[in-house]
Amino acid sequence: MPELPEVEVVRAGLAPAVTGATILGVEVFEPRSLKRHDPVAGAFDTLLTGRVMQGPVRRGKFLWIPLEGTPRRAIVAHLGMSGQILLREPGTAEAGLLRIRLHIQAAPSGESGERAELWVHFVDQRIFGSMAVDALVPTADGAHGGFGTDEALIPTQVSHIARDPLDPAFDDSRFAAALARKNTGIKRALLDQTLVSGIGNIYADEALWAARIHYAQPANSLSRAKVRTLLAEVRHVLEKALAEGGTSFDAQYVNVNGASGYFSHSLNAYGRQGEPCPRCGTPIVREQFMNRGSHFCPHCQRLRTSRPA
């Protein structure tokens, strides 16, 4: 599933094209891709046609594009397991599984004031992702909604999602206090999007490896110093992945132009089972975890039975 770096790469790629653009028309080829859209508020295409888009915003793995005017609404996109948002020239044939198409006219550019037309394609093989039009509501903490906006507004569908560690409004002390109350394993806590957002299986494994913490270590057994170390490593791995365009294992994880990221070449633990740990040489182990796998070094990441000082 795309995690914070992959979704942020998409947000940054969309921003120049959609900010200030007008939606000329909407085509829905797969109604299941609107499963999170509430038809009581209005038909998806009717709510969008003629509206002007603002700069795209991201919180965790969620992406939304605010719409100008009232009532305040936004297009909310979740990529699910295999969703892609692609920018295409009009008339481009889509080789993938096209679910939704937005016809947009970009904001005027240059002295000529030309307004180029583009297609925004939502492609999704497994149909776990979705698009919806949702109301914008004030953020609980009064800070900006997410990356890409100064407005303290957030879609109702995203309002329960916690801030991510790269968000300037993320509260380290509040996060540490929340971990101290959790007896669950630390990886399970990192994957809890209501506690901290944007971290999935790949980056949890990588950050825990870097911090030398076993994935099943009880969250409330970590010292404040160890939590600070973990947060530093989470931020480091997310920032490095962002710089490398995210992690692409196949053609499903691409940016808006269809290009793959290359952070997979920098992984130290995830997907490296049987290979030597880059730090100590012990073979990396993969264990079953929450219907997926956890990758760790059994020497560097030992399960501690007592709280460290």
Helices H / strands E in the chain, number of each: 6, 11
Instruction: Give the list of residues 6+ apart from residue 30 with CB closer than 8 angstroms, or none.
Output: 97, 99, 100, 124, 127
Instruction: Give the list of residues 6+ apart from residue 110 with CB closer than 8 angstroms, or none.
Output: none
CB 297 within 8 Å of CB 279? yes
Concerning whether 235 is annotated as a catalytic residue, the answer is: no
d(CA 152, CA 101): 29
d(CA 293, CA 9): 25
Candidates 51, 61, 73, 272; catalytic one:
61
d(CA 84, CA 82): 7
Q: Over the Cα atoms of the chain, what is R_g?
A: 21
Instruction: Give the list of residues 6+ apart from residue 278 with CB closer than 8 angstroms, or none.
Output: 268
- The dihedral built from the CA positions of residue 148, 152, 158 and 160, taken in this order, carries a sign that is positive
Concerning whether 2 is annotated as a catalytic residue, the answer is: yes
| Strand 73-78 relative to strand 98-105, pairing | unpaired
Candidates 2, 5, 66, 165; catalytic one:
2
Candidates 32, 35, 292, 302; catalytic one:
292
The structure tokens listed for 275 are 């290979």
d(CA 144, CA 146): 6
d(CA 294, CA 204): 9
3-class DSSP assignment, residue 64: strand
Concerning whether 88 is annotated as a catalytic residue, the answer is: no
3-class DSSP assignment, residue 209: helix
Concerning whether 163 is annotated as a catalytic residue, the answer is: no
Catalytic residues: 2-3, 61, 292
